[in-house]
Amino acid sequence: MVKEMSDLYDLYVKVHKTLHQMVDGLSDEQWLKKPADNFNNIASIVEHTLLVERRFFAQLKGESVDIDARAPFVATSWDVDKIKSMWAENEQLAKDAFESLSPEELEEPGAKLGVGEVNKRQLAAYAIAHTAHHRGQIPLVKKMLGI
């Protein structure tokens, strides 16, 4: 793995670890409970994050995938076991995507995002930033739920 991507993968794993620590030991009920009608629950936040990661990792490999990452935010039910399974799979998907990139490929177009067009190097960093952003929502939801 290119050193730069190895460093980014290490950061990705560290961010995931802190998020995992936030949800470790929560009951399914706590994952599913919304703190208010207009708020997301922990399940929807984590599932959304994992779906976005999957889309970004596929784009890093030059693959096109049809993933509706907004679906968890409009869903009325969530499968916590499925989300936890996706969680375990995503670290390997990240590793595979990050390992697949040569230094030259890091300069290739990665995706068109809300911030504009990014190359694959920037896309990898943005994937981590996106996860970190949503990671920051979980303590608020937990606080509102009294957890």
pLDDT computed for residue 60 by the predictor: 96
**Residue 45: per-residue pLDDT:** 98
User: pLDDT by residue (tens digit) across 8-26?
Assistant: 999 999 999 999 999 999 9
Give the list of residues 6+ apart from residue 43 with CB closer than 8 angstroms, or none.
31, 32, 72, 78, 80, 83
Q: Give the pLDDT score at 119.
A: 97
Q: Looking at residue 88, what is its pLDDT?
A: 87
pLDDT reported for residue 92: 94
What residues contact residue 40 under an 8 Å CB cut-off, 6+ apart? 34, 48, 72, 73, 137, 141
| pLDDT value of residue 39 | 94
Q: Residues of the chain whose pLDDT is less than 70?
A: none
Tokens representing residue 105 in the block: 């490929």
pLDDT value of position 64: 87
